[in-house]
Each structure stands twice: as structure tokens, then as C-alpha cells.
């Protein structure tokens, strides 16, 4: 029985490349899907609190301080609020962010073609996720508000906060595929250097 377990564990350890491939696909899928949704008004509306309160993003909005009066629930269309969001540059910013996220997804998937582009994609995925996680510090709506219940504020994450905290896995995944891409680049550099060294003419001794 122990021998069977050892063989099974040994076989499992040899699937590390499959794990890295799945990690790249998972990260790319998230960036493609969420990036594509950034072109839909409801998704642009839903990220308004995060952007409006972010010190590195709020300047993209025309009126970031006024976002609370113009929020709508997903699936609800309020023409007046939609008009305000348009004037606020909510949708133009969201589309730009969507293009960035789609590009990152493509870069992550480009690893088999170009390890350097794959490394760039991993780096950008890491930085983007780091910015997303900063919303837990800058966005009041990431925490349950004090509306009468005993559980509010830290550590009680709201629905939005629970979505953000999951990006810790994206952060770790981006780091892992980044290391793998760096290893691949170093291997190529060393292989090329070794090949050039072998081709160099040897000096004859008399």
C-alpha cells in the first residue's frame, strides 16, 4: 500500500508544469472576463466606490466625491444616474481599464511564444492585483457599514470587500508564474552563452 501511495505522490509531483499552465490560464480567464465586463455600464457603475476613493485612480473621474448619490443596484436602469455616470467619465475610464486588463490577459498567455512578454504579463498582473487589494484600505464600502447590527467595520468584509480579498490568490499566482518566466529566460540566456562558447575557436598550443 505504501508503495502505491509513493508512486501516486511521485506521479503527482511531476505535474508541476500542468499546475503552472493552469495558473496562467486561470489568471488570463479572470482578466479576460472581468476586462470584457468593463465595457458594460453595470460593471463600470459597480467599481465606482473603489475608483472614487482611490488616491491613484480618483483623478480619472470628474466628480469622485459625489458618487454616493448616484449609485444604482446591478440590473437596475436609472436614466438620470446613467447620465451622471457618463458625465463623470465613469464609462470611459472603465473601458480604458478594460483594455488594460485584456492586454494583461494576452501577455500572460503569451509565455509559450515569448517568455519576456510572459514575465511582463505576470508583473502587470501582480501590480494590478496589488492596487485592487489597496481598495480594502481606501474604500469604506469594502466593510459592513454601521447600520445597527453589532458586526460592522473591520474585520467584517462587505460583499465588495469579499470579492477584493480573493485577489490575494491572484497576487500569489502572478508571483509564481513570474518566477517561472524568469527561470525560463535565464535558462535561455545560459543555453545561448554555452552554445556560443562551444563555437569559439580553441587556441592551439605549440
Q: Is the pLDDT of residue 44 over 80?
A: yes
Set of cell numbers at residue 9: 505522490
Q: Is the pLDDT of residue 206 over 50?
A: no
Q: Read off the pLDDT band of 204 (50, 70, 90).
A: low
**Alpha carbons 16 and 188: distance in angstroms, whole number:** 20
pLDDT (mean) for 62-71: 94
Q: Specify burial of residue 49 (Cβ count, 10 A radius: 0-12, 13-18, 19+).
A: buried
Q: Read off the pLDDT band of 195 (50, 70, 90).
A: confident
Residue linked to cell 467584517: 156
**Alpha carbons 50 and 140: distance in angstroms, whole number:** 9
Count CB-CB contacts under 10 A for residue 60.
18
**Alpha carbons 120 and 108: distance in angstroms, whole number:** 8
Looking at the DSSP assignment, which residues form a beta bridge with residue 157?
Answer: 143
Predicted model pTM: 0.89
- Predicted pLDDT of residue 202: 59
Residue 161 near residue 136, CB atoms below 8 Å = yes
Query: In b/e form, how buried is each residue of 172-199, taking b as 16+ CB within 10 angstroms?
Result: ebbebbbebbbebeeeeeeeeeeeeeee
Residues 169, 174, 177, 182: what is their CA dihedral angle, to the nearest 10 degrees? -150
Q: Read off the pLDDT band of 62 (50, 70, 90).
A: very high
Q: Alpha helix (H) ranges present in 38-155?
A: 41-46, 48-53, 79-87, 90-109, 115-133, 135-138
CA dihedral for 135, 75, 93, 172, sign (positive or negative)? positive
Looking at the DSSP assignment, which residues form a beta bridge with residue 143?
Answer: 157
Residue 102 near residue 31, CB atoms below 8 Å = yes
Residue 174 near residue 129, CB atoms below 8 Å = yes
Amino acid at each position: 500500500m505504501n508503495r502505491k501511495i509513493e508512486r501516486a505522490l511521485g506521479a503527482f509531483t511531476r505535474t508541476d508544469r500542468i499546475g503552472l499552465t493552469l495558473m496562467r490560464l486561470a489568471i488570463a480567464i479572470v482578466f479576460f472576463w472581468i476586462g470584457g465586463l468593463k465595457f458594460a455600464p453595470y460593471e463600470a457603475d459597480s467599481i465606482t466606490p473603489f475608483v472614487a476613493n482611490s488616491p491613484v485612480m480618483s483623478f480619472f473621474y470628474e466628480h469622485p466625491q459625489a458618487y454616493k448619490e448616484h449609485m444604482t443596484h446591478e440590473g437596475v436602469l436609472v436614466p438620470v444616474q446613467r447620465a451622471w455616470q457618463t458625465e463623470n467619465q465613469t464609462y470611459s475610464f472603465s473601458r480604458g481599464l478594460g483594455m488594460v486588463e485584456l492586454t494583461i490577459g494576452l501577455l500572460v498567455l503569451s509565455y509559450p511564444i515569448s517568455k519576456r512578454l510572459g514575465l511582463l504579463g505576470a508583473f502587470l498582473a501582480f501590480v494590478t492585483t496589488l492596487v485592487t487589494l489597496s481598495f480594502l484600505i481606501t474604500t469604506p464600502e469594502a466593510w459592513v457599514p454601521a447600520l445597527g447590527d453589532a458586526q460592522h467595520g473591520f474585520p467584517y468584509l462587505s460583499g465588495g470587500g469579499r470579492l477584493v480579498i480573493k485577489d490575494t490568490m491572484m497576487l500569489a499566482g502572478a508571483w509564481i508564474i513570474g518566477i517561472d518566466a524568469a527561470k525560463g529566460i535565464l535558462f535561455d540566456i545560459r543555453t545561448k552563452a554555452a552554445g556560443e562558447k562551444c563555437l569559439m575557436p580553441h587556441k592551439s598550443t605549440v
